[in-house]
Amino acid sequence: MALERRKANTIPLSWSPEDERLLLKYLKKESFDAQFLMELFPGRTLPGIRSKVRKLRIKHDLFGESYRDQKEDFTTQIARKVKPKHVFDAYAGAGHQTFKWTTVADVVYASDIMKSKLKQFEKTARENKFEKVNTGDCLWKLFTNGDKKVFFFMGDALDAAADLKVNKLRIDLVDLDTCGSTLPILPTLLVLLKPRHIVITHGEFHSMRFKREDVLRRLFLHRDISKNPFPMDVETMSNELDKAVKIAGLRAHNETTDSFWLDLKEEKWLGGKFHGMLRRYYKVSKPSATADCINELSKI
CATH of residue 265's domain is 3.40.50.150
Total number of domains constituting the chain = 2
Residue of 135, 175, 170, 129 whose CA lies nearest to 151: 135
* 194 and 274 housed in the same domain: yes
Q: Do 26 and 124 fall within a single domain?
A: no
* 73 and 175 together in one domain: yes
State which residues of the chain have pLDDT below 70.
1, 8-11, 64
> Is 150 in the same domain as 41?
no
Q: For residues 53 and 178, state if they share a domain.
A: no
In a domain, 10, yes or no: no
Q: Are residues 119 and 211 in the same domain?
A: yes
Torsion 15-19-24-30 (CA) sign: negative
Q: What is the tens place of the pLDDT at every residue in 28-69? A: 888 888 898 998 898 888 888 988 988 888 888 777 677 789
CB 262 within 8 A of CB 239: no
Same domain, 204 and 278: yes
55/91 same-domain check: no
- Domain membership of residue 9 (yes or no) is no
153 falls within a domain: yes
From residue 108, how far is each of 135, 182, 184, 186, 229 by CA, in Å? Answer: 16, 19, 23, 19, 37
Residues 115 and 135 in one domain: yes
Residue 5 lies in a domain: no
Is 11 inside a domain boundary? no
> Distance from CA of residue 111 to its chain's centroid?
12
Based on the fold, state whether residues 29 and 117 are members of the same structural domain.
no
What is the model's pLDDT at position 8? 66
The β-bridge partners of 110 are 89, 152
Does residue 262 belong to any structural domain of this protein? Answer: yes
Q: By the 8 A CB rule, do 79 and 60 touch?
A: no
pTM over 0.95: no
H/E run at residue 280: strand 277-285
Residues 33 and 143 in one domain: no
Q: Determine the structural domain holding residue 53 and report its residue range.
A: 17-59
- For residues 82 and 175, state if they share a domain: yes
User: Residue 259, class by beta-carbon neighbours within 10 Å (0-12 exposed, 13-18 middle, 19+ buried)?
Assistant: buried
Q: Residue 103: inside a domain, yes or no?
A: yes
